[in-house]
Amino acid sequence: MIGGMSTFSDFSPLAKALSLVLVNQTIGALVINAGFVLVFSRLSGLLLPPSNRAVQPFRTRLWTTLVTSWTVWPVASFVNFYFVPVDYRVLYTSCIAAVYNFLLSYRMNKRNDDDKVN
C-alpha cells in the first residue's frame, strides 16, 4: 500500500496488466525518454549552450524516441505483465530491450536536416 491506497492488488489480472502498461507508457516513457534524449543530445554536442536553436532538435528527438518506444513497449509490457511469470520478467524485458536499443540507436543516429549545424 502506498499512501493508504492499494497498488493494483485489488484489480483482476487483465486490469492490473493494462493499468501497469498505462502508467509505464505515459509517465515512465516520458521521463525515461526525455532523460535519454537530454543525455544523448548533450553527449553529441547538440545542447552545448542552452539556446532556442537547441530546443527544436531536442523536441524532434524526444518525439522520435517516444514514437520508437511506443512501437515496441506497449505490447511487450502487456505480454510481460500478463503472461510472463515474475521470475522471468527481467530476462524477457532484457531480450526485448536489446532489440529496442538497436532500433532506437538506428533512429537516433539518422541525420535529420534539423540536427545539422550550419
Please give the grid coordinates belonging to residue 87. 521470475
Residue 5 lies in a domain: no
Please provide the distance, in angstroms rounded to a whole number, between the alpha carbons at the two ends of the chain.
54
Residue % of the chain over a pLDDT of 90? 41
Q: What's the structural domain count of the chain?
A: 1
The answer to whether residue 101 is domain-embedded is yes
Domain that holds residue 101: 13-109
Residue 96 belongs to some domain of the structure = yes
- In 3D, which of 42, 93, 50 has the Cα closest to residue 72? 93
pTM of the complete model: 0.73
| CB 20 within 8 Å of CB 76 | no
Tens digits of per-residue pLDDT, 23-69?
999 998 999 988 888 887 777 766 555 555 656 777 888 888 898 89
Residue 89 lies in a domain: yes
